[in-house]
Amino acid sequence: MNFREKLRGITQENNSLLCVGLDIDSEKIPDFLFKNSNDPYFEFNKSIIDATKDIVCAYKLNMAFYEVLGIEGFILLEKTINYIPKNILIILDGKRNDIGNTAKKYAKAFFETFNADAITINPYLGKDGIVPFLDYKDKCSFILCRTSNPSAGDFQDLNFANKPLFSIVATKIKEWNIFDNCGAVVGATYPNELKIIRKKLGDNIPLLVPGIGKQGGDISTTVKYGTNKKKEMAIINSSRGIIYASDDKDFADSARKSALLLKNEINLYR
Amino acid sequence: MNFREKLRGITQENNSLLCVGLDIDSEKIPDFLFKNSNDPYFEFNKSIIDATKDIVCAYKLNMAFYEVLGIEGFILLEKTINYIPKNILIILDGKRNDIGNTAKKYAKAFFETFNADAITINPYLGKDGIVPFLDYKDKCSFILCRTSNPSAGDFQDLNFANKPLFSIVATKIKEWNIFDNCGAVVGATYPNELKIIRKKLGDNIPLLVPGIGKQGGDISTTVKYGTNKKKEMAIINSSRGIIYASDDKDFADSARKSALLLKNEINLYR
């Protein structure tokens, strides 16, 4: 089953566009887990997955939070990926980029070694740094287009012949989408840009939308501008706002409640 | 000792601007190692380091080649980093990038967990995705400016008010260099751009220059345009051309010969 089919299946099955970010952080996960468990990080991820697997369409694992733990982090990454139910999408958020010869190795690492359904990649190197990822036709590569951070505009807003860079990147994403396996990353914190990009990409390219919750993106405009005509094809991510909703023994219950609230609010605007 | 001091020290000690890229590749390392050794990848890296440690100023490890091996790759990465003599610079080439909160984790992963002297990062997200790396004042962050690949120009050559994006990035790098810990990545395959960038950055910002050897960059123009007035501050990388000079039992000797030839050719133009 390819990425598109899996996305369609789980969006319908769980009636959800919500993606939960499993951004494990030693400073934020409940203290008691470190006392009670031999494997506190995995215990945390397992509990969050158990509590939310009927609510989400995807889990996103940001590589930074695993790399910082060194070898232990990669064991954790592998165990977490194996624990996620097969019907739910796994997005590995690594924002990788390199020259063709090396990008091929990253593509193999993420799609084969780690077995992700989808990844994030950075477009700065141009087409030949992107193509090796697109050779995995059944997967999805979400290309950074407009990021959610405050400085996103430093380069992404520069105008080239009256078109901002992020819009030129969007045009390229549409051009590169020969195998129907491109996606775009667009931050919910920039609703106008989200609107422009969705319009440019048409109805058939999925968007990965971070930036709601702690980062402040608005849910109604995210759904309005981020989804396609069928009110699908947007994967709306929240990490900290859900998984760290409580830092006490009720953390999994609190995560479930926050995820359910967010899923329902998203659906309200669909 | 901070990065700048270490760079000055090893450049003088080994009289070298050469960086060797330890891009481990199962398809290219000698077959006999897989038969004769329990740890063929480490055996390979160890032999290359032993054969070149008096010739180089730095080793560059591109993360893609380690990530593709999964957990085994990270054990190898750690062992290789620990094996490199303390006077030689370790550059971890990951081209990482993310929003501030997450970039902080990458910075910690690369500078603390993996203990690199220097890293490569991608500028697409703008300043707040860069600053967390620069908080490590004794390290060096080489920011992608003009990459060495054929499609580099797709976005990097776009003109904004008559200035190409790579040149705007260079201006920002100079602006971000408050703690004297910024560097720039500029491909040897684009000598004119290298010249423009060195001029813009002045004499005090180191360049990491990939693209000679297999990628075709010219050595004389690389040295001429890439170094500063003292003919220093350029770290010129070759990977495949050195470490895979032979795929037979003489691989380490061949690597030494190729490294020595290249070091001497670089010095010829200094």
- pLDDT tens-place string over residues B74-110: 999 999 999 999 999 999 999 999 999 999 999 999 9
Q: What gap in Å lies between CA A81 and CA B144, rounded to an integer?
A: 31
Per-residue pLDDT tens digits for B183-242: 999 999 999 999 999 999 999 999 999 999 778 899 999 999 999 999 999 999 999 999
Report pLDDT for B215. 82
pLDDT grade for B1, boundaries at 50, 70 and 90? confident
Report pLDDT for B10. 98
Q: Which of A95, A104, A172, A231 is catalytic?
A: A95
Distance (Å) from the alpha carbon of A264 to chain B's nearest alpha carbon: 27
Q: Are A56 and A20 in contact (CB under 8 A)?
A: yes
Residue range B61-65: mean pLDDT, rounded? 98
- The CATH number of residue B24's host domain is 3.20.20.70
- Select the residue from A63, A124, A189 to test the B interface by mutation, using most B Cβ atoms within 10 A: A124
Residue range B115-119: mean pLDDT, rounded? 98
Report pLDDT for A151. 98
Residue range A252-261: mean pLDDT, rounded? 98
Residue range B250-254: mean pLDDT, rounded? 98
Q: What gap in Å lies between CA B247 and CA B239, rounded to an integer?
A: 14
Measured between beta carbons, the chain A residues lying within 8 angstroms of B23 are: 102
Report pLDDT for B214. 77
Measured between beta carbons, the chain A residues lying within 8 angstroms of B165 are: 155, 158, 160, 165
Contact criterion met (CB < 8 Å) for A64 and B97: no
Report pLDDT for B81. 98
Residue A214 has pLDDT above 80, yes or no: no
Please choose, from the candidates B59, B57, B56, the residue with its C-alpha nearest in 3D space to the C-alpha of residue B80. Answer: B59
Per-residue pLDDT tens digits for A14-28: 999 999 999 999 999
Report pLDDT for B95. 98
Residue B50 has pLDDT above 90, yes or no: yes
Residue A104 known to be catalytic = no
Per-residue pLDDT tens digits for A98-143: 999 999 999 999 999 999 999 999 999 999 999 999 999 999 999 9
Residue A8 has pLDDT above 80, yes or no: yes
Residue B263 has which token pair? Answer: 């070091």
pLDDT grade for A1, boundaries at 50, 70 and 90? confident
Measured between beta carbons, the chain B residues lying within 8 angstroms of A109 are: 64, 67-68, 70
Distance (Å) from the alpha carbon of A74 to chain B's nearest alpha carbon: 6
Phi and psi at B145, nearest 5°, equal -120, -70
Residue A167 has pLDDT above 80, yes or no: yes
Contact criterion met (CB < 8 Å) for B128 and A149: yes
Report pLDDT for B216. 87
Residue A213 has pLDDT above 90, yes or no: no
Share of chain A above pLDDT 90, in %: 96
Domain span including residue A104: 3-268
pTM (two decimals): 0.98
Q: Which of A128, A148, A151 shows the shortest C-beta gap to B150?
A: A128
Residues 6+ positions from B77 with CB-CB distance below 8 Å? B61, B63, B66, B114
User: What's the count of helices (H) and strands (E) in chain B, helices before strands?
Assistant: 13, 10
Report pLDDT for A150. 97
Q: What gap in Å lies between CA B205 and CA A224, rounded to an integer?
A: 46
Q: Which of B46, B79, B95, B224 is catalytic?
A: B95
Report pLDDT for A238. 97
Phi and psi at A245, nearest 5°, equal -60, -35
Q: Write down the mean pLDDT value for chain A.
A: 97
DSSP string, B231-259: S-SEEEEESHHHHTS-SSTTHHHHHHHHH
Report pLDDT for A216. 87
pLDDT grade for A243, boundaries at 50, 70 and 90? very high
Share of chain B above pLDDT 90, in %: 96
Q: What gap in Å lies between CA A198 and CA A225, rounded to an integer?
A: 7
What is the DSSP-derived secondary structure letter of residue A23?
-
Per-residue pLDDT tens digits for A40-97: 999 999 999 999 999 999 999 999 999 999 999 999 999 999 999 999 999 999 999 9
Q: How many domains does chain A have?
A: 1
Q: Is B66 helix (H, G, I), strand (E, B) or coil?
A: helix
